[in-house]
Amino acid sequence: MKAKHQRLILAVVAVVALTGSSLLAMSALKDQASYFYAPGDIARQGIPAGAIRLGGMIPMGGIVHQPDGVTIDFTVKDETGTVPVRFRGITPALFKEGSGVVAEGSFVGKTFVATNLLAKHDENYMPPKAAGTEHVTKTLKE
């Protein structure tokens, strides 16, 4: 095989591989682009299928502990929507009423069943949409 041909084949293979992977990325992104939801999005667009992240604020008085001791029901809200959430597990340290939360999971009926409340973060953290809606915790540094 001539060197020229070989280079051509390699170039074609490279282009195919990179195009293939970007197509793969694009199609996966199309499913995932709406991965992060705020309660208002759910109110407007209806309940999404599959695994999503739901981010918002927990209103005061919004957390209810179930008798089994490991299940909690709470609501996540923003200015335009409210979503009921159920979670079984140990809540992160900063999970409390009046603060922001990002829950991962999917909808079962109208209830969002969270498999994970986003891991611990420092006191500066706000879920992106919540930061604009409620007051941001002032830190010692500021």
Q: Which of 11, 13, 108, 136 binds another protein (CB under 8 A)?
A: 13
Count of residues interacting with another protein (CB under 8 A): 51
Residue 80 binds to another protein (criterion: CB under 8 A): no
111 binds another protein (CB under 8 A): no
One-letter-per-residue 3-state SS of the chain: CCHHHHHHHHHHHHHHHHHHHHHHHHHHHHHHCCCEECHHHHHHHCCCCCCEEEEEECCCCCEEECCCCCEEEEEEEECCEEEEEEEECCCCCCCCCCCEEEEEEEEECCEEEEEEECCCCCCCCCCHHHHHHCCCCCCCCC
Span interacting with another protein, options 56-64, 65-73, 78-86, rule CB under 8 A:
65-73
Q: Which residues are annotated as a binding site for heme?
A: 121, 125
User: Using CB under 8 A as the criterion, which residues of the chain lie in contact with another protein when the complex forms?
Assistant: 1, 3, 6, 9-10, 13-14, 17-18, 20-22, 24-25, 28-29, 31-36, 50-51, 53, 65, 68-70, 88-91, 93-94, 104, 116, 118-125, 127-129, 139-141
